Amino acid sequence: MSDVSPAEVIDEAARRRTFAIISHPDAGKTTLTEKFLLYGGALGAEAGTVKAREGRRSATSDWMELEQQRGISITSTVLQFPYRDHVVNLLDTPGHRDFSEDTYRVLAAADAAVMVLDAAKGIEPQTLKLFEVCRDREIPILSFINKWDRPGLQPLELLDDIEEQLGLTPTPLSWPVGADTEFRGVLDQRSGDFVRFTRTARGSTMAPEEIVDPERALTEEGSLYEDAVDEVGLLEAVGSSYDEETFLAGVTTPVFFGSALTNFGVRLLLDAVVDLTPAPTPKPAQGGEPRPLDAPFSGFVFKVQANMDKAHRDRTAFFRVCSGRFERGMVVTHEASGKPLATKYVHTAFGTDRETLDQAWPGDIVGLVNANDVRIGDTIWIDEQVAYPPIPSFAPQHFAIARTTDTSRFKQFRSGVSQLDEEGVVQVLRDRDLGDQAPILAAVGPMQFEVATHRLENEFGAPVELSMTSYSVARQTDEASRAALRMMQGVDVLDRADGSMLALFESPYWLDRLVAERPELTLEPLIAGAS
Ligand code: G4P
């Protein structure tokens, strides 16, 4: 490794902001992402959102076709762009709660989240689910109330919704002046200014902003401005002011109003991401000791994805840099196997394209191409050994036996099933007697099965038939408890590829009784998934 001073690593880490956007489908996550890129200069000054969107949609892989048919986003992408003197890493998360385990893994690599709400809908079921995942990960959340250019709920109603449904105290940092077609701008609580926006055609360029002094605002905007000022006064009186400590602890959420489509409020939100969300901090290793940012390079893998698009039929393991400088070509140690790993082919996604990457710093996300033995949760390092804690799995609630309907494709079926397991598309469980003939696919949400069967058929040419089982709950168990559990009716014990074991139960009541009556059996709960 060429020389790098500790101060340089610390400086580069301090410039990074790594965050994810979560939202219910249709709230505007894609639009906001595109606008962030626009403000980050990554789309070029004039770049149209339409172009970016069409570009993205034409980059189809087989399972992206499925996304389009269902109108959902399954794959997560990583985008990096410069903003002010910072480097922003934006992690996209799937919007559907059936993929909340994937979201959980992505959030393991994020330092903060932006939660996008639709002004007309407030908290929606999948916002709630994804928020719970954020809460589990204890990361700070900024809230963006989007589509303020359209008819929506009252701002105070929306704040109540956040408070009541999420148990998160909203602290507005921007307050809308006007709404719907009369949305003029926002009172920026951080600067005290009234920021007035001007629309541009379809929001393809940044919205021109003007700071308007109170006197002029009163003359030009009249009651719209007066009402906003009154409301802000009211909020201050009830103590809804921004507080850094409670924000970082995930107890309060700064709220921003705007419209991603017309770019109103996008800059203020991006400024807040940079100014308020935390820079990378030293990550605790197994055993609890954090590895300093300026220690030699280390990172952990939070996502594995194959066949992302037809132009790149390969397998990419995404890792987050936790310490030191990563340089392309570096030979790192893969902690799980103890083997050296060459890193010649790495990339990041800059804007919407892949770009070869030469170096990365704490907080950055790197895609390692064709590192076939690397799994989700694995640690890689140089010089000084480190192991980061594994990313826990969610408790699956749906279990289906998979068989290929074309026995001549059995080999492809087997390798496809392993691939999906490694990516965490579904969890794969095997009966010791049946092995790969009839693996059980386990999912948090049933839509994971659709993705799995679609990919097995289209990417691996192995048509599959799934038979749903009556198991509904799983616990982690061990060899010592296995024999006793297998003797019981309505219980099965199956193996995972990593050597761990899951006990499946048809009846949660039966499980509860067992836990109470047979304390000698190992029945460890997993993280609760979608419900
Ligand atoms: P998602 O990724 O969260 O699923 O949402 P996406 O950005 O795709 O936005 C969903 C729809 O909401 C899109 O309309 C988008 O244009 C619209 N939208 C997003 N932000 C705003 C906003 O601030 N104001 C208004 N009025 N609309 C907004 P669509 O008709 O589904 O797609 P398109 O035809 O515009 O591409």
The mean of the pLDDT values for the chain is: 86
CB contact at 8 A, 356 and 327: no
Residue 17, CA distances (Å) to 21, 85, 364, 365, 391 in order: 13, 11, 9, 11, 21
15 or 64, higher pLDDT:
15
Q: Is a pLDDT exceeding 80 seen at residue 40?
A: yes
Q: Could you report how far apart the first and last alpha carbons of the chain are, in Å? A: 48
Mutate to test the pocket of ligand 1, among 23, 24, 26, 148 (most ligand atoms within 8 A of CB): 26
CA of 233 to the centre of ligand 1 (A): 32
Q: What is the pTM of this model?
A: 0.85
56 has pLDDT over 80: no
Task: Identify the residue whose C-alpha is closest to ligand 1 atom 26.
Answer: 147
Q: Are 406 and 349 a contacting pair, CB within 8 Å?
A: no
- Indicate the pLDDT class of residue 354, thresholds 50, 70 and 90: low
Query: Predicted confidence band at 58 (pLDDT cuts at 50, 70, 90)?
Result: very low
Q: Which residue has the higher pLDDT, 132 or 95?
A: 132
Nearest atom (ligand 1) to Cα of 24: 3
- Dihedral sign for Cα atoms in the order 430, 435, 436, 439: negative
Domain boundaries, the chain: 17-73+83-276, 284-381, 398-517
The atom of ligand 1 lying closest to the CA of 27 is 3
The rounded distance, in Å, linking the Cα atoms of 227 and 223 is 6
How much distance in Å is there from the Cα of 165 to the middle of ligand 1?
24
CB-based contacts of 122, cutoff 8 Å, min separation 6: 153, 157, 158, 161, 162, 165
Report pLDDT for 73: 42
Check if 96 has its Cβ closer than 6 Å to any atom of ligand 1.
no
26 lines ligand 1 (CB under 6 A): yes
Query: What are the pLDDT digits (tens) for 427-450?
Result: 999 998 887 889 999 998 888 898
Q: Is the CB of 29 under 6 A from ligand 1?
A: yes
Atom 34 of ligand 1, nearest CA residue: 50
Determine whether the shortest distance from the Cβ of 149 to ligand 1 is under 6 A.
Answer: yes
Domains 284-381 and 398-517 share a fold: no
For the ranges 52-61, 110-119, 287-296, the lowest mean pLDDT is seen at 52-61
Query: Could you tell me the distance, in angstroms and rounded to a whole number, from the CA of residue 264 to the centre of ligand 1?
Result: 14
Q: Which CATH number fits domain 17-73+83-276: 3.60.21.10, 3.40.50.620, 3.40.50.300, 3.40.50.720?
A: 3.40.50.300
498-529 pLDDT, tens digit each: 889 999 999 899 999 999 999 999 999 887 65
CA of 523 to the centre of ligand 1 (A): 45
Which of 166, 161, 171 is closest to 248 using CA atoms? 171
Write down the pLDDT at residue 51: 36
Say yes or no to pLDDT of 48 above 60.
Answer: no
Residue 258 beta carbon below 6 angstroms from any ligand 1 atom: no
Assign 3-class secondary structure to 207-250.
CCEEEECHHHHHHHHCHHHHHHHHHHHHHHHCCCCCCHHHHHCC
Residue 279: left (phi > 0), alpha (psi -120 to 50), or beta? beta
Give the mean model confidence (pLDDT) for residues 327-332. Answer: 91
Of all residues in the chain, the percent with pLDDT exceeding 90 is 58
In short, whether 115's Cβ falls inside 6 Å of ligand 1 is no
Confidence of residue 198 (pLDDT cuts 50, 70, 90): confident
**What whole-number distance in Å separates Cα of residue 443 and Cα of residue 449?**
7
Residue nearest to atom 33 of ligand 1 (CA): 50
Phi, psi of 81 (to 5 degrees): -150, 155
**Is the CB of 174 within 6 Å of ligand 1?**
no
Top-tier CATH class for 284-381: alpha beta
What is the CA(306)–ligand 1 centre distance, in A? 28
When pLDDT is averaged across residues 152-174 and rounded to a whole number, the result is 94
Q: Which residues contact 213 (CB under 8 A, 6 or more apart)?
A: 194
Fold assignment, 398-517: Alpha-Beta Plaits (3.30.70)
Q: Are 473 and 395 in contact (CB under 8 A)?
A: yes
**Ligand 1 neighbour 259 (Cβ under 6 A):** yes
Residue 412 has pLDDT above 80, yes or no: yes
pLDDT digits (tens, 9 = 90+) for 165-192: 999 999 999 999 999 999 999 999 989 8
Residue 395 in tokens: 């408790």
User: CB–CB of 503/481 below 8 Å?
Assistant: yes
Q: From residue 453, give the alpha-carbon distance in Å to each of 397, 413, 514.
A: 18, 10, 34
Bridge partners (DSSP) of residue 288 are none
pLDDT at 213 over 80: yes
Instruction: Calculate how far, in angstroms, residue 60's C-alpha sits from the geometric centre of ligand 1.
Output: 20
DSSP state, residue 71: T
Q: 246-263, pLDDT tens digit by residue?
A: 999 999 999 999 999 999
Is 18 touching ligand 1 by the criterion CB < 6 Å? no
Q: Is the CB of 93 under 6 A from ligand 1?
A: no
